[in-house]
Each structure stands twice: as structure tokens, then as C-alpha cells.
């Protein structure tokens, strides 16, 4: 059944097994004894094909496992070998039947047939009432029986049992050995043990001493049942076996639901806050637009013309500036509202941008608007704020201009500003008079500061709202930076925490992966299951992130009354990036898990 030829196994300089030649019996129980560290588990790993780095040849069931590749070894294990471990190595969260079906699934038989087999095995082992129980709710003896049922479900010719009674009391230990004895009637059961009492059930006892196998006792071997035909059939079935990767991934996802949900929530908080920070940029831009609309004169500049210097030419060369015109002192004007008339002997042009508004806004070009001082307003009505939106008439040089009162600004004398196009039209009556000042507009709000600085450098003294604009821009920019830094920090912490949680979860699953490999799952199937789980996690985290984002959006509009301005492109980018981030993170974390050799995975 198992033949070892010149088997030598070394770990570095240490030789554990020294050129062993040995033929195991075909049926019955073989106990392997040996001092701790003598090489019992090392030998088992070689026999099971977990460890392929050794010298010599191992033949099991007439097949040379020494030359098999990892996929062939998995298939070989599924067809010929069953495992019973000291620590049971059942998959927590799965029921008894599910644990056994994990192994049965690979034999390619219909599920109903396998389920019948599982029921029969459970009945034989006396745990049929526990079929739907989660394995973590079972006693030690019951768990070991489940492990035996799982090992037997595919009718292996060889059963390896590593300390199968190590965790059990004497009575349970005896019961388990009775079961193994019965099983060994038509197959080989190799039991690794420290417990010499267990040897009472053995047909053969061997010991590893200084790297060699010594036979302690041996009964005559019975005849070997020929199972060659059965194996060929079983091999064909395994080739047809289709592991339901998604079914298994969904089940695993449910088993590890709490951990997966925790990772999803952590990442959802990080990502959604990051999106909010993106939207803070939009909110800032909207606030600037609102501000510009309310402070219509902030882009206006006023330069007084002294005797020799007229800055108009310099201004007209600057593409950031338009609406440049000379301003003149006007004589004999009047404003009429209802029955009231306020007369002005002269109207001197004044800087517009530096005035503070009490109500409304400064007049806009093309809108036929006027803003007046409170002292003018008081001459029309006591409730001056009611004047906003009402019409008055400006009389000059026999022309009447019907203007809408757009605002009231805070000057302590009689004065007014009118829409720049109306103002320019009035200057046609001025004649040869010298201009008093130049008015200009900066096209873009964001250029106000640089245009003003440029003029100041050229010693041109201009009156603009540059201080307010600079302060506003500074505040907005600092707030944007603050939002961005805080959000990146939150996102980094969320990514770090998710990685830690995922790594912790992954570390807890080494044994599970080792068990799957021992049952015959090859790396491709294991990778498929873990990748499907990663995709499920990514989808959950993405949905949670969106949910969290809309929750923040709702709370924001509830508390602050505004809207978190967010573009559809930003939402799409967030959805895709959340998915990719989690998929990458979980794939990186599970790569090591997949790459670990089964024997090493089982030791963890
Ligand atoms: N992966 C490994 N790398 C290096 N040395 C190893 C490795 N696995 C086992 N060894 C060493 O090989 C020797 C045999 O180990 P093994 O686990 O086979 O002993 P054992 O007889 O099963 O011991 P125990 O009864 O305590 O389980 C020990 O000295 C051990 O430290």
C-alpha cells in the first residue's frame, strides 16, 4: 500500500529521516511512536504529499507520489487518503453535515447520494442527531467522530490520524480507537501517537529512532483488497468534480459575516468621509459663486487720475481686465421717487468696491440699477430697506433714466452708484473736461488679487476690495486644505484598520485552508473561493460606503439645511475606487494564505 525507498528528509543541516526503506501493511492499524521531535509528523507530511522536498521515492496505492505536481497530489489525496487530526480541524460556523460534505463534494457524485452516505456514517458513529448542529457546539468526542466521518466519506484506502485521541479522556479515547479498529478491517489506518495504550489496538507498531524506522511489533498482514478498479472510477469522478466556488464563498461570507461587516463599515466611514471632503470643494466653489453674486462690485477697480498719469492704456493691455472707462464729475442731477426729489449739484465718481452694503447689492451692468446711501433713502421713506426693488428716476441733462434700487450702502452722505453702462452713457454730455478717475472690472474673481498686486507693483494706486477677496480666498483655501487633510487622514486610518482586520481574519484561516488542501482542494479552487469572498466583501463595502455617504448627506441637509454638492462623476469614481481598493487590499492579504503549503498552514 505504502512503500518508502531511501527516504531522506532534511531541514537545513538537520537530517530528520535517514534513508528509510519501509513497506507499510495494506490493512489494519499501524501506530507510529517516537519521542517528541523524532520526525513523526514530518513522515506523515511526506506520505500525504504535503511536503515534496525530500530524497527517495514514495509509492502509495501503486502511484509514485514523488513525481506528482501539486494539483495531482490534491487529486491523489481526495481519492486515496483521509485525515483525522488531534485538534479535529473542523470548519467553525459550518454544521456537521456541511463539514463532511466539504470532502464529499469533491467525489463528483450527486449531492443526494453523498448526503445519504453522510447520514449513514453519522448513524454508524452515533452522532446522527447532531447532523445540523454547528461543530463548535459539539463535545470533543463528538467533534472527533465528525472528523472521522469526514475522513471516511470518500472511502479512502488509507486513513492518517495524527494524535486522534490526544485531546480526549481515556473512555472517549477507547471509543475512538474502537471505531478506527473497525475501519481498519479493509484499509490502512496510520496513527501517530505518544500514548502507548493506543498501541493495544495496533496491528503493527513502529517507532522513529534517530531518523530510522524500527518495528516494535507486527502481526501478520491480511490479504490486500484490490481497489484498482474503484480508483480509476473515482479518479474520473474527481476530474468531473466541480467545486461550487460561489456557493462556498457565500457560505464562508455568512460564517465570517461579523468580521466582513466590520471591515465594510470601517472602510465605508473612511470612503464616505473622503467623498464628503470632495464635495466640500464643490460647496466652497458654490459659496464663492454665491458671494460673487451678492458682492457684485468686488471685481471693480477705481484709479484716481493725477495730473500726469492715466493708467487706461496699461489697463487695456491686461487681458484679465475689461469694461475700462474714464469717469467724470457730473453736475446738476436729481433722483425722484414718488413725490420726493433729491438734487445733487455735482456727482463725483467714487470707488465702488470698498463700500459696505447695508441692504441688497451694488448695481450690475446692463440691469439699469442704482444703489443709494441711507441719507438719500431716508429722504424717500423711513423704512429704507423697503426701497430695494423699487424704481426711481435719475434726471440728467434733460434725460430720464428709470432705475431699479438694487441696494443701500453705508456712506454717511448723499450719494449713489448706477449701472456702469448707464453711467458711461451719461458721460457723453461731459465735453472737454478732464477725467477724474478710471473704472475697470477684473473678469475673473480669482484674478482680483493678482491684478491688484500687479498694479501696486507699478505704483498705480487702485481702490479695490482686494483685502476682503484675499481674506475670503484664504479662508476657503485653508478650509479646503483642512477638509482634505482630515479626510485623507480618516481614509488612511480606515484603510489601515481594514488591513489589520483583514490580516487578522486571514491569519485565523490558515488551518481552514490547510484542511481544504488535506481534503483534496487544489490551489485553483482555494484561490477561487477566497477571490469570490473578496469580491463579495468589495461589493458589501461599496454598498455600505454609498449608504454611509447618503446618510451623511441626509444628516447634513437636516442639520445645515444645505445640499452636499456632489457630481455624478465623483459618485461613480467613489463606487469604482471603493471596489478596487477593497479588492486589492483583500487580495494582497489573502495571497500569502493561498501561497502557504498545506502542511505549514495546518501547523499554524
Ligand atoms: N518546517 C520545519 N522547518 C524546520 N524544522 C522543522 C520543520 N518542521 C519540523 N521541523 C523539525 O523537525 C524535527 C521533527 O519534527 P516533527 O514535527 O516531525 O516531530 P514529531 O515527532 O512529530 O514531534 P511531536 O511528537 O512533538 O509532534 C523537529 O526537530 C522539528 O523542529
In this predicted model, what pLDDT tens digit does every residue of 477-488 receive, in sequence order?
888 888 888 888
- CA 102 vs CA 87, 107, 139, 178, 595: distances in Å: 18, 10, 21, 25, 21
Average pLDDT over residues 99-110: 89
Closest ligand 1 atom to Cα of 39: 18
Task: Tell me which of 15, 38, 160 to substitute to probe ligand 1's pocket, judged by most ligand atoms within 8 Å of the beta carbon.
Answer: 38
Residue 295 is assigned to a structural domain of this protein = no
pLDDT band for position 577 (cuts 50, 70, 90):
confident
Residue 520 is assigned to a structural domain of this protein = yes
22 plus 84 within the same structural domain: yes
- Structure ipTM: 0.97
Task: Tell me which of 16, 31, 597 to substitute to probe ligand 1's pocket, judged by most ligand atoms within 8 Å of the beta carbon.
Answer: 16
Distance from the CA of 43 to the center of ligand 1, in angstroms?
10
Residue 452 is assigned to a structural domain of this protein = no
The residue out of 421, 441, 461 marking a domain boundary is 441
The per-residue pLDDT for range 27-67, each reduced to its tens digit, is 999 999 988 889 998 999 899 888 889 999 999 988 999 99
485 plus 598 within the same structural domain: yes
What is the Cα–Cα distance from 157 to 184, expressed in whole angstroms?
Answer: 9
Nearest 10 degrees: Cα torsion 129, 135, 141, 147: 100
- Full-model pTM: 0.70
Range of the domain at 167: 2-242
The per-residue pLDDT for range 524-550, each reduced to its tens digit, is 889 999 999 999 999 999 999 888 888
- CA 282 vs CA 68, 277, 550: distances in Å: 62, 9, 16
Residue 231: per-residue pLDDT: 45
Residue 417 is assigned to a structural domain of this protein = yes
Residue 449 is assigned to a structural domain of this protein = no
165 plus 22 within the same structural domain: yes
Cell of 469: 477677496
Distance from the CA of 203 to the center of ligand 1, in angstroms?
26
Which 3-state string (H, E, C) describes 321-347? EEEEEEECCEEEEEEEECCEEEEEEEE
With contact defined as beta carbons under 8 Å apart, do 245 and 529 qualify?
Answer: yes
170 plus 216 within the same structural domain: yes
With contact defined as beta carbons under 8 Å apart, do 378 and 388 qualify?
Answer: no
Asked if pLDDT for residue 192 goes beyond 60, the answer is: yes
Closest ligand 1 atom to Cα of 208: 21
pLDDT band for position 563 (cuts 50, 70, 90):
low
521 plus 422 within the same structural domain: no
Q: Classify 27 in phi/psi space as left (phi over 0), alpha (psi -120 to 50) or beta.
A: beta
201 plus 323 within the same structural domain: no
Asked if pLDDT for residue 226 goes beyond 50, the answer is: no
CATH number of the domain enclosing 197: 3.40.50.300
What is the number of helices (H) and of strands (E) in the chain?
Answer: 18, 20
What is the Cα–Cα distance from 264 to 246, expressed in whole angstroms?
Answer: 20
DSSP secondary structure of 219-257: PPP-PPPP-HHHHHHHHHHHHH----HHHHHHHHHHHTH
Residue 196 is assigned to a structural domain of this protein = yes
Distance from the CA of 319 to the center of ligand 1, in angstroms?
81
224 plus 109 within the same structural domain: yes
Residue nearest to atom 18 of ligand 1 (CA): 39
Place of cell 438719500: 376
Distance from the CA of 11 to the center of ligand 1, in angstroms?
9
392 plus 329 within the same structural domain: yes
What is the Cα–Cα distance from 547 to 264, expressed in whole angstroms?
Answer: 11
Residue 566 is assigned to a structural domain of this protein = yes
Ligand 1 site residues (CB inside 6 A) read 11, 16, 34, 36-42
Task: Tell me which of 10, 11, 45, 191 to substitute to probe ligand 1's pocket, judged by most ligand atoms within 8 Å of the beta carbon.
Answer: 11
492 plus 530 within the same structural domain: yes
Residue 250 is assigned to a structural domain of this protein = no
Query: Measuring CA to CA, which residue among 371, 311, 353, 313 is closest to residue 442?
Result: 353
342 plus 205 within the same structural domain: no
What is the Cα–Cα distance from 82 to 31, expressed in whole angstroms?
Answer: 16
Residue 17: per-residue pLDDT: 94
Distance from the CA of 46 to the center of ligand 1, in angstroms?
12
Residue nearest to atom 16 of ligand 1 (CA): 39
Q: Within 10 A of 181 (CB to CB), how many other CB atoms are there?
A: 16
**240 vs 201, higher pLDDT:** 201
The per-residue pLDDT for range 248-284, each reduced to its tens digit, is 999 999 998 998 999 899 888 888 888 777 777 777 7
Share of the chain above pLDDT 70, in %: 95
Number of domains the chain is built from:
3
Query: By 3-state DSSP, what share of the chain in percent is helix, strand and coil, each rounded to 5?
Result: 50, 20, 25
What is the Cα–Cα distance from 290 to 565, expressed in whole angstroms?
Answer: 14
273 plus 200 within the same structural domain: no
Task: Tell me which of 10, 41, 191 to substitute to probe ligand 1's pocket, judged by most ligand atoms within 8 Å of the beta carbon.
Answer: 41
152 plus 208 within the same structural domain: yes
Amino acid at each position: 500500500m505504502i512503500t518508502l525507498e531511501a527516504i531522506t528528509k532534511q531541514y537545513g543541516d538537520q537530517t530528520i529521516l535517514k534513508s528509510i526503506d519501509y513497506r507499510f501493511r495494506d490493512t489494519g492499524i499501524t501506530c507510529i511512536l517516537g519521542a517528541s521531535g523524532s520526525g513523526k509528523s514530518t513522515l506523515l507530511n511526506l506520505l500525504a504529499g504535503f511536503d515534496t522536498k525530500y530524497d527517495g521515492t514514495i509509492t502509495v496505492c501503486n502511484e509514485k507520489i514523488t513525481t506528482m505536481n501539486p494539483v495531482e497530489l490534491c487529486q491523489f489525496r481526495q481519492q486515496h487518503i483521509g485525515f483525522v487530526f488531534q485538534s479535529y480541524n473542523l470548519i467553525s460556523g459550518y454544521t456537521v453535515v456541511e463539514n463532511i460534505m466539504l470532502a464529499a463534494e469533491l467525489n463528483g457524485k450527486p449531492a443526494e447520494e453523498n448526503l445519504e452516505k453522510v447520514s449513514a456514517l453519522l448513524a454508524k458513529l452515533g452522532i446522527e442527531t447532531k447532523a445540523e448542529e454547528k461543530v463548535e457546539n459539539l463535545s470533543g468526542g463528538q467533534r472527533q467522530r465528525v472528523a472521522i466521518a469526514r475522513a471516511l466519506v470518500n472511502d479512502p484506502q488509507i486513513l492518517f490520524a495524527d494524535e486522534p485521541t490526544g485531546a480526549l479522556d481515556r473512555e472517549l479515547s477507547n471509543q475512538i480507537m474502537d471505531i478506527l479498529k473497525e475501519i481498519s478491517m479493509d484499509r490502512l489506518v496510520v496513527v501517530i501517537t505518544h500514548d502507548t495504550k493506543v498501541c493495544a489496538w495496533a496491528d503493527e507498531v513502529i517507532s522513529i529512532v534517530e531518523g530510522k524506522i524500527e518495528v516494535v511489533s507486527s502481526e501478520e498482514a491480511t490479504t490486500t483488497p484490490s481497489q484498482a478498479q474503484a480508483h480509476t472510477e473515482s479518479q474520473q469522478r474527481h476530474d468531473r468534480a466541480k467545486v461550487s466556488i460561489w456557493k462556498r464563498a457565500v457560505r464562508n461570507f455568512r460564517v465570517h459575516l461579523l468580521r466582513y461587516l466590520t471591515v465594510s463599515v470601517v472602510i465605508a466611514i473612511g470612503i464616505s468621509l473622503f467623498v464628503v471632503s470632495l464635495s466640500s470643494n464643490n460647496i466652497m466653489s458654490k459659496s464663492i459663486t454665491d458671494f460673487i453674486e451678492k458682492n457684485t462690485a468686488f471685481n471693480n477697480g477705481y484709479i484716481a487720475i493725477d495730473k500726469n498719469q492715466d493708467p487706461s492704456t496699461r489697463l487695456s493691455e491686461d487681458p484679465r481686465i475689461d469694461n475700462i472707462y474714464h469717469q467724470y464729475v457730473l453736475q446738476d442731477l436729481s433722483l425722484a421717487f414718488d413725490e420726493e426729489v433729491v438734487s445733487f449739484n455735482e456727482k463725483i465718481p467714487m470707488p465702488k468696491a470698498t463700500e459696505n452694503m447695508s441692504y441688497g447689492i451694488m448695481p450690475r451692468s446692463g440691469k439699469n440699477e442704482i444703489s443709494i446711501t441711507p441719507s438719500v433713502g431716508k429722504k424717500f421713506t423711513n423704512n429704507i430697506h423697503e426701497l430695494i426693488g423699487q424704481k426711481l428716476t435719475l434726471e440728467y441733462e434733460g434725460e430720464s433714466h428709470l432705475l431699479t434700487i438694487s441696494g443701500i450702502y453705508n456712506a454717511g452722505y448723499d450719494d449713489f452708484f448706477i449701472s456702469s453702462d448707464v453711467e458711461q452713457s451719461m458721460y457723453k454730455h461731459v465735453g472737454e473736461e478732464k477725467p477724474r478717475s478710471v473704472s475697470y472690472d477684473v473678469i475673473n474673481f480669482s484674478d482680483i488679487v493678482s491684478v491688484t498686486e500687479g498694479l501696486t507693483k507699478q505704483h498705480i494706486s487702485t481702490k479695490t476690495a482686494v483685502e476682503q477677496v484675499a481674506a475670503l480666498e484664504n479662508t476657503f483655501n485653508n478650509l479646503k486644505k483642512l477638509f482634505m487633510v482630515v479626510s485623507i487622514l480618516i481614509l488612511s486610518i480606515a484603510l489601515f484598520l481594514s488591513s489589520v482586520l483583514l490580516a487578522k481574519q486571514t491569519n485565523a484561516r490558515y488551518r481552514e485552508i490547510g484542511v481544504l488542501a488535506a481534503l483534496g482542494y487544489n490551489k485553483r479552487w482555494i484561490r477561487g473561493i477566497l477571490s469570490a469572498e473578496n469580491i463579495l466583501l468589495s461589493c458589501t463595502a461599496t454598498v455600505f460606503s454609498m449608504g454611509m455617504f447618503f446618510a451623511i448627506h441626509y444628516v447634513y441637509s437636516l442639520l445645515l439645511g444645505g445640499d452636499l454638492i456632489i457630481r455624478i462623476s465623483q459618485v461613480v469614481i467613489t463606487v469604482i475606487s471603493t471596489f478596487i481598493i477593497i479588492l486589492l487590499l483583500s487580495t494582497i492579504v489573502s495571497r500569502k494564505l493561498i501561497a502557504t503549503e498545506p502542511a505549514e498552514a495546518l501547523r499554524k
